[in-house]
Chains A and B, each alone.
Chain A
């Protein structure tokens, strides 16, 4: 075995894992917010996430055909696209809650869960229908912005691109913002109150429905931001792209302790690193007997172990509040 090679790629694998982890963390925040307040898993979140990516690519293609993509400085383009993705996903999330979840509140837990899975399929095919009518395309390609692709070369085998740094910065920024909103504002207090006890909160004069809508708005908005960044980072999306990252992010949320905001971040990072390690090293360590295709076994095995030995997730018990 080539020991030098194994060590040589380690920093890059770490870096790849961290970037992927932040991506998962961003998506996981949406699951965790909703779960924290309603104790309900919004399985349509992966589609809300990919809607952000689709709106993002449409805006970028629009800018490109208007000749503005290269004319505007890249941070302006990125902020514009992020805003659009955030707005679209947030609105869709609120609508989904209003149409498919609110009428079912108070029913056994399984019922809204099934409704969420239904909505998930519905949204996938809706995106597909709209895109095939609008562009007659299945796969959509994010236009390249050269400045975002610029790589900082650290050594011959280690480098990091501008877009990866953007993902990390955005994830940290959004985490900080979310933390601040939940813990330091009146709205945040209301959200925490509803998470604690809906009935008591409503007796204290909190409009529970409004707070739930707001939670979906925030969760959806973060999904939209994640979708845009996913598109920018990996370049190609189709209506079904959201499913796997959504599932992984959900896993990350559970791993970190679902309903716990720092937990989602930690879970995302752990999962991203695990995946990057398994995918990069499996083939090298087993001399080609197992390849990158088995990476998910490791990630999900760890999840099962965590659930067996620490059912509340990594940070599940440290922070008692659920949102």
Chain B
């Protein structure tokens, strides 16, 4: 009996194989599925920004996938939630490289997550185009598959301290969140502030999220003119709020991690007038992004967050690279895509992006902005105080 079954199975297999060429012309057109992954925090305290990255990339993929689909592929976006945690990011990265259809990653939000995760991408030469990672290490390792479409903290910190010096102040007190990103940018700010002749009254890291009394008490006694917080809004906002409540009069400042409408939601009146530097200006500040913002609102029913437009550009760049690499006709590999990104020149909605030999943009925009209102809905109307175009510093030879 088993012999019969086996022969039948064998026969049908042979027949099945024989039938494949018969449907040949149809099959040849479809070369399979290409997936683009996003990694950003979709849950937890930084979900607002992370969700914005995912949706920005999603919009770009839906809009521009036709070019790659013409080559015979189906294009899909697969979002991953890195929870803003390095271990989760790395675990996701392992899953991503195991899925052979994923040919590029758009992400992450946090440099501290992007750096270890990109070590995993590098093993298989998988392109990562980051919309938001500003820590210099991200590209300074010189990996051939890592790119970003935003500025760097060693420039952002200096832009911040230069602006601080121009405020005619004498002293600063610096707090950071002990992450790769927050501490990094705070150190660049500190080093340059010292050079500019500002007195640094304190430099302190904390992971505290609710009770800032023990930090505020000595700070208040030292009476700084400016407080710089290197970190993310969900920690900075309650700190600023409690500092104001305790009568601290200093001006507030921070890097682009403070750039979220949630800062106004949590901090309220305390953060009105706060300065922040950013590698991503409000969407309203990019002339080409207006249509994007409207489309985003229409589709998702909310305003784009900072980095949504950058994620849109990053995803568009990966699609463009796939199109370029796929023109040769052979099946696309991860290698092809990550090499092709370097050759892309893309005039996107947040700038004209072109990469140097380590994956940094040849020039990036830096903004100094000021919070205009304690209404989170009006976050996009924050005042642009200054705008600079600066090239990424080239890699120092050791």
Contact = CB atoms under 8 A, between A and B. Distances in A.
Contacts of B209: 236, 241
Interface in B208-237: 208-211, 213-215, 217-218, 220-222, 234, 237
Contact of B210 (A161, A241, A295): A241
Given A9-B218, A139-B234, A141-B265, A161 B45 contact: no
Contacts of A245: 210
B114 interface: no
Contacts of B202: 283, 288
B305 to A, nearest CB: 14
A306 B158 CA distance: 48
A319 to B, nearest CB: 30
B214 A280 contact: yes
Nearest to A275: B214
B44 interface: yes
Indicate the member of B211, B237, B262 with the most A CB atoms within 10 Å.
B211
A20 interface: yes
A293 B178 contact: yes
B204 A20 contact: no
Contact of A138 (B44, B204, B245): B44
Interface string B242-274: 100111000000000000001001101000000
Interface residues of B, number: 35
Given A151-B247, A292-B206, A234 B238 contact: yes
Contacts of B203: 288
Contacts, number: 96
Contacts of A284: 218
Residue of A20, A157, A235, A295 with highest tally of chain B CB at under 10 A: A235
Contact of B266 (A139, A230, A275): A139
Given A139-B45, A235-B241, A13 B217 contact: yes
Contact of B214 (A5, A13, A149, A153): A13
B221 A236 contact: no
B213 A19 contact: yes
B47 interface: yes
B242 A235 contact: yes
B284 interface: no
Nearest to B203: A288
B205 interface: yes
A139 B262 contact: yes
Contact of A238 (B45, B218, B222): B45
A280 B205 contact: no
Contacts of B218: 5, 9, 280-281, 283-284
Interface centre among B45, B47, B210, by most A CB within 10 Å? B210
Contacts of B262: 139
B55 to A, nearest CB: 14
A173 interface: no
A310 to B, nearest CB: 27
B213 A291 contact: no
A288 B204 contact: yes
B204 A236 contact: no
B318 to A, nearest CB: 29
A292 B45 CA distance: 23
B123 interface: no
Which of A138, A151, A238 has the most chain B CB atoms closer than 10 A to its own CB?
A: A138
A245 B241 CA distance: 20
B99 interface: no
A293 B211 contact: no
Nearest to B46: A138
Contacts of B266: 139, 141, 235-236
A101 to B, nearest CB: 29
A139 B210 CA distance: 11
A141 B241 CA distance: 11
A115 interface: no
Interface in A275-323: 275-276, 278-281, 283-284, 288, 291-293, 295
B43 A16 contact: no
Given A138-B43, A151-B246, A16 B205 contact: no
A62 interface: no
Contact of B206 (A13, A230, A291): A291
Nearest to A236: B238
B202 to A, nearest CB: 7
A283 B201 CA distance: 11
A159 to B, nearest CB: 7
A12 interface: yes
A276 B238 contact: no
Looking at A13, A139, A241, A279, which has the most chain B CB atoms within 10 Å of its CB?
Answer: A139
The 4 closest A-B pairs by CB, nearest first: A279-B214, A234-B210, A16-B213, A291-B204
5 contacts: A141-B266, A280-B217, A291-B204, A292-B204, A292-B206
Interface of A: 5, 8-9, 12-13, 16, 19-20, 132, 138-139, 141, 144, 149, 151, 153, 157, 159, 161, 230, 233-238, 241, 245, 275-276, 278-281, 283-284, 288, 291-293, 295
